[in-house]
Amino acid sequence: MSSIVRIENVFKEYTLGTSRVHALKDINLQIGNGEFLAIAGPSGSGKSTLLNLIGCIDIPSSGKIYIDDRDTSGQTPDQLSELRARTIGFIFQTFNLFSVLSAEENIEYPLLQFKELRAAERRERIVKFLDIVGLAEFADHRPNQLSGGQRQRVAIARALATHPKIILADEPTANLDHKTGEGILQLMKDINRNSGTTFIFSTHDAKVMAMAERLIRIEDGQLVGEDAVHT
């Protein structure tokens, strides 16, 4: 299996007042194409920082990160933005939908930056991914007319619509009840198996850990172990 993400000797430090915070320390990690992987750790362990680095939202203090064989170091903000837009989809625990837009408009929004896509092609993707997440009849509903689980399904459809190679999901079940969270996880697992899209979660949810095919554990900014692959 080829690697879609390679992280080599990555450190991340922040300045907080007069002190330096070592958020990540010497991280080395390879993530294969099509994996369903969870990065697990307690609050403050560095898992969200690691996800932000993979997502090119932040850059490491030192070390190298390769996304789809592309070295992200030395890239301009515009180049990173382009890489992010075309390679990575994001799913957040707070859904991050635009409240004034309908479900279909939320899904269309990231597609508007792809100038090569005609309106008919955008429409085709919207219909396809609303159907995949089971919300075809809710296309014209705004977020406040949808349940938490439905909103997360819209967020999944929006992430998939750009045809990314990687989906990054930051605590995607945190604001959902147990049953809804399990349904969302199963949906993402099915998408992973059917499309080969790589899913990378940050989580401390036992349900996510149990469903992951590979589980990476992080504590105090360091990788401390890896659990056997689930089949």
Buried residues in 5-21 as b, exposed as e (16+ CB within 10 A): bbbeebebeeeeeeeee
Say what the pTM is: 0.93
The mean per-residue pLDDT over the stretch 119-126 comes to 96
Q: Report strand pairing: 3-16 vs 62-67.
A: antiparallel
Contact 59, 53 (CB under 8 A): yes
pLDDT at position 159 over 70: yes
pLDDT of 166-221, one tens digit each?
999 999 998 899 999 999 999 999 999 999 999 999 998 888 999 999 999 999 99
Which residues, 6+ apart, have CB-to-CB distance to 124 below 8 Å?
A: none
Q: How confident is the model at residue 230 (pLDDT cuts 50, 70, 90)?
A: low
For the chain, what are the domain ranges?
A: 34-61+77-227
Q: In what order do the strands lie in the sheet with 70-71?
A: 19-32, 3-16, 62-67, 70-71
Beta-bridged to residue 36, according to DSSP, are 199
Reported CATH class of domain 34-61+77-227:
alpha beta
